[in-house]
C-alpha cells in the first residue's frame, strides 16, 4: 500500500466518523425537540382529564355589549351604546382549535348587520384568541352631561337614537399559563379538557387590539339642539381632536390570576381577572391629511386596562353545555380629553365531542 492510498483510506474513515457524529448530534437535537413538545402538553391527571375525542360541534348564542364614554376638560361627556346584539352560530373544534361564525339575528331585516368571527387556539401552556367584530350605527344616548354651568334637564335625551358613531375592533390576546400541568384554562372556556380538581394559576400575556372609531360631533350637537332647544358649546380641543375617524392601537402586557372551582361532579366554575399595562396610540385621519405639523390633539400614552372572564360548564366528556362571559375595558385620561370603552360578550352553548382518540 502506497502513501497516497493510505491517505485516501484515512480521509474516508475521518469523513465517515464525522458523518456519524453529525447524525448523532442531529438525532439528539430532534429527540430534545420531541421531549420539549411532549412537555408542552404534559399534565397532571390528578387535576386534569385529557380530551378523549378529536372533534367537537357546538351551537352558541352570543350576546354582545359595548359602551363608549367621551368627555372633555369642561366636564362635558356623553355615553353612547347600542342595544345588545343577539347572535347565533355554529362552531367546529379540532383538539385545541375552535372556529365559528355568528350571525346577528336582531338585524336580519336591516342593513345594519353585526357580525363576529373568532378563532381560538389552546394548549395547556399557551392560548391565543384572534377576533374581528363589526358594529352598526344604531347607538343610543345613555347619559350626557353638558357641564356644571349648564342648568338644563337632559333627561329627554336618554335613549335617543344616534347614528353618528361607527366602530369595529380586531386584535389578539396571547397568554401563558404558569401552573399549566394542574390548571386548565381551556376546561372553562373551550371544553377541550376537563378540570377534575380545583386549583388556580397566575396568567401572563401580551395583546394587541385595533379600534376604528368614526364620531360625528356635528350630528350630536344637532340631536341635542333638536331635543333640548339648546345648542351645546362643546370644547374646541375635543371637537378638533376627535372629529372624523380615529384609530386606536392598543399594545398591552398582561398579568392576572385564574381559578377553576370543581364544585360538583362534571361541573366547573372558572374565573380570571387580568390587568394590562397598555401603550395606546391614536391617530386621526385629519392628522394624516395635514401632516405632522397639524395642530391636532394626539393620544400617545400608557394606560391601565382590564380583562375579566367567567365560565360555568357542565362537561361529562361526551356532552357539554354552559355559559361564559368576557369583558374588556380600555381607558385613556387626560386633562383636556378622555375616553372609556367597554366591550363584552355573554355566551350560552351546547355541544358534543366525537371521533374518539385511539
* SS3 per residue for the chain: CCHHHHHHHHHHHHHHHHHHHHHHHHHHHHHHHHHHHHHHHCCCCCCEECCCEEEEEEEEEEEEEEEEEEEECCCCEEEEEECCEEEEEEEEEECCEEEEEEEEHHHCCCCCCCEEEEEEEECCCEEEEEEEEECCCCEEEEEEECCCCCCCCCHHHCCCEECCEEEEEEEEEEEEECCCCCCCHHHHHCCCCEECCCEEEEEEEEEEEEEEEEECHHHHHHHHHHHHCCCCCCCHHHHHHHCEEEEEEEEEEEEEEEEEEEEECCEEEEEEEEEEEEEEEEEEHHHHHHCCCCCCCCEEEEEEEEEEEEEEEEECCCEEEEEEEEEEEEEEECCCEEEEEEEEEEEEEEEEEEEECC
User: Is residue 47 a part of any domain in this protein?
Assistant: no
User: What residue numbers bound the domain in which 201 lies?
Assistant: 55-356
Q: In this model, does residue 186 exceed pLDDT 90?
A: no
Same domain, 16 and 123: no
User: Is residue 111 a part of any domain in this protein?
Assistant: yes
User: Is residue 48 a part of any domain in this protein?
Assistant: no
Same domain, 17 and 138: no
Q: In this model, does residue 298 exceed pLDDT 50?
A: yes
User: Is residue 50 a part of any domain in this protein?
Assistant: no
Same domain, 8 and 80: no
Confidence label for 28 from pLDDT (cuts 50, 70 and 90): low
Same domain, 8 and 59: no
Write the pLDDT tens digit of every residue in 95-121: 767 777 777 777 666 665 566 666 667
Counted domains in the chain:
2
- For residue 179, the model assigns a pLDDT of 92
Same domain, 32 and 59: no
Same domain, 23 and 78: no
Looking at residue 122, which CATH number applies to its domain?
2.40.128
Confidence label for 310 from pLDDT (cuts 50, 70 and 90): very high
pTM to 2 decimal places: 0.77
- For residue 266, the model assigns a pLDDT of 93
Same domain, 67 and 6: no
Same domain, 125 and 181: yes
Same domain, 3 and 152: no
Q: In this model, does residue 334 exceed pLDDT 90?
A: no
Q: In this model, does residue 63 exceed pLDDT 50?
A: yes
Same domain, 31 and 109: no
Amino acid at each position: 500500500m502506497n502513501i497516497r492510498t493510505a491517505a485516501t483510506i484515512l480521509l474516508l474513515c475521518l469523513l465517515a466518523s464525522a458523518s456519524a457524529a453529525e447524525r448523532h448530534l442531529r438525532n439528539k437535537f430532534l429527540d430534545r425537540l420531541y421531549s420539549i413538545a411532549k412537555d408542552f402538553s404534559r399534565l397532571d391527571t390528578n387535576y386534569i382529564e385529557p380530551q378523549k375525542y378529536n372533534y367537537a360541534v357546538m351551537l352558541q348564542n352570543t350576546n354582545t355589549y359595548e359602551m363608549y364614554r367621551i368627555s372633555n376638560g369642561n366636564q362635558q361627556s356623553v355615553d353612547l351604546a347600542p342595544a345588545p346584539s343577539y347572535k347565533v352560530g355554529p362552531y367546529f373544534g379540532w383538539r385545541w382549535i375552535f372556529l365559528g361564525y355568528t350571525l346577528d339575528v336582531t338585524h336580519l331585516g336591516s342593513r345594519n348587520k353585526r357580525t363576529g368571527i373568532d378563532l381560538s387556539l389552546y394548549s395547556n401552556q399557551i392560548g391565543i384568541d384572534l377576533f374581528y367584530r363589526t358594529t352598526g350605527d344604531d347607538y343610543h344616548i345613555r347619559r350626557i352631561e353638558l357641564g356644571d354651568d349648564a342648568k338644563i334637564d337632559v333627561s329627554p335625551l336618554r335613549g335617543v337614537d344616534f347614528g353618528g358613531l361607527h366602530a369595529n375592533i380586531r386584535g389578539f390576546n396571547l397568554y401563558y399559563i404558569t401552573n399549566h400541568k394542574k390548571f386548565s384554562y381551556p376546561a372553562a372556556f373551550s371544553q377541550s379538557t376537563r378540570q377534575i380538581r380545583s386549583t388556580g394559576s397566575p396568567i401572563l400575556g401580551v395583546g394587541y387590539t385595533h379600534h376604528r372609531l368614526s364620531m360625528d360631533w356635528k350630528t350630536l350637537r344637532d340631536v341635542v339642539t333638536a331635543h333640548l332647544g339648546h345648542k351645546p358649546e362643546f370644547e374646541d380641543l375635543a371637537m378638533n381632536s376627535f372629529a372624523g375617524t380615529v384609530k386606536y392601537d392598543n399594545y398591552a402586557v398582561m398579568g392576572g390570576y385564574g381559578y377553576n372551582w370543581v364544585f360538583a361532579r362534571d361541573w366547573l366554575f372558572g374565573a380570571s381577572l387580568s390587568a394590562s399595562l397598555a401603550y395606546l396610540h391614536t391617530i386621526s385621519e385629519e392628522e394624516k391629511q395635514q401632516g405632522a405639523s397639524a395642530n391636532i390633539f394626539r393620544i400617545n400614552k400608557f394606560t391601565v386596562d382590564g380583562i375579566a372572564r367567567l365560565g360555568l360548564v357542565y362537561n361529562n366528556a361526551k356532552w357539554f353545555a354552559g355559559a361564559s362571559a368576557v369583558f374588556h375595558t380600555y381607558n385613556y385620561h387626560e386633562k383636556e380629553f378622555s375616553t372609556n370603552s367597554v366591550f363584552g360578550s355573554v355566551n350560552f352553548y351546547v355541544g358534543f365531542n366525537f371521533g374518539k382518540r385511539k
